[in-house]
Amino acid sequence: MNKKDLRIIFMGTPEFAVGTLQQLVEGGYNVVAVVTQPDKPVGRHGSVLQPSEVKKYALEHSLPVLQPEKMKDPAFVSQLRAYDADLQVVVAFRMLPEVVWAMPRFGTFNVHAALLPQYRGAAPINWAVINGERQTGVTTFFLDHDIDTGRIIMQRPFDIPDDADVEYVYDGLMRLGADVAIETIDRIIEGDGHVDSMPQEQLIAPTTELHSAPKIFKETCQIDWQQPAKRIYDFIRGLSPYPGARTTLVTPDGKQTILKIYKARIAPDIQSKGFHTEKNQLYINGLELLELQLTGKKRMSARDFLNGFRGIEECKLV
């Protein structure tokens, strides 16, 4: 078997998935169709439909695109089956029913942005940084009935620098994920459809603490100022640049507004529990705040923020 004989259906939605699809297309692999989320309504009245990044790329390269509302829809399942795929590759998509993931003769594998069984869930990149991990990685695994629990095919590590934010890790894992996906497919081709895989239970020792990676909501992004500076620092970079760690700024007259913090650094010499300014620098709770954004304003440096916001030392964060 060669890569042009292997019929592949690709499933994914965001930019993170485009890297893998691009490598498949540019590498000459036989992608017979692409499955992605339905176009998303945007704009004030939701009257404009925005296609996913995966759809944009697929259409640019004349690939058939399927956008089911429900993965169990008989019409979609029938349409999918008609492509007679040997293998399905999933990157940053939704949970699939068995009727879909069990359809190809060589199965369906997922590219997950973590070293499973750690960080199962929807937001593994964010949570790895939030938890101060020094290393994460990419795993390819066969889908089964439960989320992110299938047999592992390959894993590759990725180091997280102490000052890295989610954007840095996201970009690195997007490239690494594409490479690992291609290597996984090549192994499947070399094995004529068969490849070694390992149950995740073999990686879980009795003392192993498993970290989960649930979806990030607005409530998740609220900073807890009672935590140590290092925890707050990791929390900020684990949500930067999107969706952004947030706090409520309260002025002396009681007015409240949302303040997003995108970049900070640990400043051990400054332990003030309230705001402290010094030479156009802004400190709080052992942190120097470097980049911020008030509701309705653009993202800016702390220097620009202080130039336009007087009396910050009299304000509080909750």
**Dihedral (Cα; 208, 209, 214, 220), 10-degree rounding:** -160
Residue 256: the pLDDT is: 95
For the chain, 318 residues long, give each residue's pLDDT as a single digit of tens. Answer: 889 999 999 999 999 999 999 999 999 999 999 999 999 988 777 778 999 999 999 999 999 999 999 999 999 999 999 999 999 999 999 999 999 999 999 999 999 999 999 999 999 999 999 999 999 999 999 999 999 999 999 999 999 999 999 999 999 999 999 999 999 999 999 999 999 999 999 999 889 999 999 999 999 999 999 999 999 999 999 999 999 999 999 999 999 999 999 999 999 877 667 888 988 899 998 999 999 999 999 999 999 999 988 889 899 988
Question: 253-286: buried (b, 16+ CB within 10 Å) or exposed (e) per residue?
Answer: eeeeebbbbbbbeebeebeeeebbeeeeebbbbb
Q: Give the bridge partners for 40, in sequence order.
A: 50
Q: Please report the pLDDT score of residue 229 as a whole number.
A: 94
The pLDDT value recorded for residue 270 is 73
Question: pTM of this prediction?
Answer: 0.94
> CB under 8 Å to 201, separation ≥6 — which residues?
none
The confidence score (pLDDT) of residue 279 equals 86
Q: What is the pLDDT of residue 43?
A: 76
* Number of separate helices (H) and strands (E) present in the chain: 8, 16
Nearest-10 crossing angle of helices 15-26, 53-60 = 20
pLDDT computed for residue 269 by the predictor: 78
CA–CA separation, 29 vs 126, rounded Å? 31
Dist CA 217 CA 292 (whole Å): 20
The b-or-e profile of 44-79 (16+ CB within 10 A means b, else e) is eeeeeeebbbbbebbeeeebebbebeebeeeebbee
Predicted pLDDT at 243:
96
Q: Give the per-residue pLDDT at 106.
A: 97
Phi, psi of 250, rounded to the nearest 5 degrees: -115, 120
- 138 close to 155: Cβ distance less than 8 angstroms: yes
* Interatomic CA distance for residues 147 and 179, integer angstroms: 23
- Determine the pLDDT at residue 310: 83
The pLDDT score that the predictor gives to residue 130 is 98
Q: What is the CA radius of gyration of the chain?
A: 23
Q: Reduced to 3 states, what is the DSSP secondary structure of residue 303?
A: helix
